[in-house]
Homo-oligomer: A and B are copies of this chain.
Amino acid sequence: MNTDDKLKPLREQIDAIDAQILDLLNRRARVAQEVGHIKAETNAPVFRPEREAQVLRKVAERNPGPLDGGDVQTIFREIMSSCRALERRVAVAYLGPTGTFTEQAVYQQFGHAIEGISCASIDEIFRSVEAGTADFGVVPIENSSEGAINRTLDLLLQTTLSISGELSIPVHHSLMTKSGTMDGVTRICAHSQALAQCQVWLNQNYPNIERQAVASNGEAARIASEDPTAAAIAGEIAGQRYNLGIVKAHVQDDPHNRTRFAVVGRLQPAPSGKDQTSLVLAVPNKAGAVYNLLAPLSKHGVSMTRFESRPARIGTWEYYFYVDVEGHAQDEKVAAALAELKQNAAFFKLLGSYPFSL
């Protein structure tokens, strides 16, 4: 019996299973349509991030294998996306150009059955969601090699929108030069964090070339584009912008270098059971007051997952503190802690509560 003869009965089994899956998918879609009708009566939102997060967690928990849990979530994200599209394709604004990794972030959050709106700037993303042209915006908020995206933080301070989700996607660094080779290169430039992230690889491959920390990886790419004795470590998109050639792709030691994105919208998600809350605080005097300011969190047993201070570029305060805590603002202990925080702070803005990133 040849291979194809052996495979035939198995393929017939797969076809039969596929027919059942297809039937179930459409049964699911019909129930989702009923959900849509009820939502339409009350103007309830089409996209409920907390509900989708719950479904994705449940399938990963229930998944008996052999399929990989993450792969199963990818499948269910597309299932929910296409069911949602029967009501309406959610419009999502993101930082263009079309076809870059920010668009991939959109698909990772919303699946493919959406309407993507490519924007030229982070400001335009906020504007198009505030104006109702888009239902949601996906904005970069932090790069694990270059820190916070300041423009996003500034706009979060001013906007009427809430954060309704967050996600992160992998980012790769490459070693690049004007010529695409290391001939004549005497220094390697990058942001200090990027240099640190590539040090094992650099020690193995270019132990004797000087490393120079510069303001950002984008700046490193600019330098390399003007100076043939300089190499840059940067994302390949920055390299393309400055017409650099790739000496070696993916040189970071940690393959898990990521960019974090926030989803912004008019929606305020209900608790999903595993949530995160983002807020911004300010106090008149940085040195003395920060510790006291945060005391209510530990008092009420609320874990802080992120704390970042930055000099104010807008508003009246010297510093703003961007804080993420575990839990939803409607959770009892989080609500108690936030109420106290608000009393102590000179400035307090709740950016949003949303499902904890998967």
Number of chain copies forming the complex: 2
> How far is it, in angstroms, between the C-alpha of A62 and the C-alpha of B24 when the chains are bound?
13
- Tell yes or no: A346 within 8 A of B by CB: no
> How far is it, in angstroms, between the C-alpha of A318 and the C-alpha of B220 when the chains are bound?
46
1/0 contact string of A163-192 vs chain B (CB within 8 Å): 000000000101000001000000000000
1/0 contact string of A2-37 vs chain B (CB within 8 Å): 010011001101110111111111111111111100
A79 to chain B: which residues have CB within 8 Å? 21, 75
CB distance from A316 to the nearest CB of B (A): 31
A99 to chain B: which residues have CB within 8 Å? 100-101, 104, 236-237
- Contact yes or no, A120 B71, CB < 8 A: no
CB distance from A221 to the nearest CB of B (A): 11
Known: A71-B81, A75-B75. A62 touches B120 (CB 8 A): no
Known: A35-B11, A82-B75, A240-B237. A44 touches B246 (CB 8 A): no
> How far is it, in angstroms, between the C-alpha of A14 and the C-alpha of B119 when the chains are bound?
35
Contact with A86, one of B10, B21, B58, B67 (Cβ below 8 angstroms): B67
- Contact yes or no, B71 A113, CB < 8 A: yes
- Tell yes or no: A332 within 8 A of B by CB: no
Chain A interface, DSSP helix/strand/loop, else mixed: helix
Which of A98, A118, A250 has the most chain B CB within a 10 Å cutoff? Answer: A98
> How far is it, in angstroms, between the C-alpha of A79 and the C-alpha of B20 when the chains are bound?
14
A86 to chain B: which residues have CB within 8 Å? 66-68
- Contact yes or no, A67 B38, CB < 8 A: no
Residue of B whose beta carbon sits closest to that of A83: B67
Residue of B whose beta carbon sits closest to that of A79: B75
Which of A15, A24, A42, A97 has the most chain B CB within a 10 Å cutoff? Answer: A97
Within 8 A of B (CB), among A91-121: 96-101, 103-104, 112-113, 118-120
- Contact yes or no, A26 B66, CB < 8 A: yes
